[in-house]
Structure 1
Amino acid sequence: MSDGIHTEPELNEGKTYRLNLVCAGTGSAQLVFVPANAGAKATVPCDGSVVQQQISPDKLVRINVEGSKGASGVVAWQIDAL
């Protein structure tokens, strides 16, 4: 999990999307959107639970997921148009 996820998905302005994020392993990860107004910062437990966040971009969105100290496992994500 040390590499995390860092992506700038091509999302269309004016559309709404749902980010599905899951972490499996131990510890937790931090989900952060840039710019901050694209969404909220969230802690994702690495217990296999799916965390969902709605995204309505008005400009480029960057998604960053970083493992917390001592976390190990894998992180997967998917974005769906609503």
Structure 2
Amino acid sequence: MYKPLIVYYLNKIPGEIEKIEVIMSEIPAAQQPEFISALDAYENRGADKKTRQTCINMIRLGMEINLICEALEVDEDYVKNVITDLDQNTY
């Protein structure tokens, strides 16, 4: 299976856990672990977006990098990359 393609299709049915359960039941047992891995990637994508937006909000509030890192459990490079993106108006 192709993980990005699975994530794409999962985006087409957000909030439809019943449909995802039906899809899971129809996938052969040998491919289910790969589908579950893709499902995890899909769920983490939402968490990553939320973490990034929270980081942006904290930067805009003038919080120090070390405090942001501690609060969001991210490393300093992550915060610095977000700051660079903000400076370049890419976000």
TM, length-normalised to structure 1: 0.21
User: Which structure's CA Rg is the greater one?
Assistant: 2
Structure having the higher strand fraction is 1
Structure having the higher helix fraction is 2
Structure with higher RCO (Cα < 8 A, 6+ apart):
1
TM, length-normalised to structure 2: 0.20
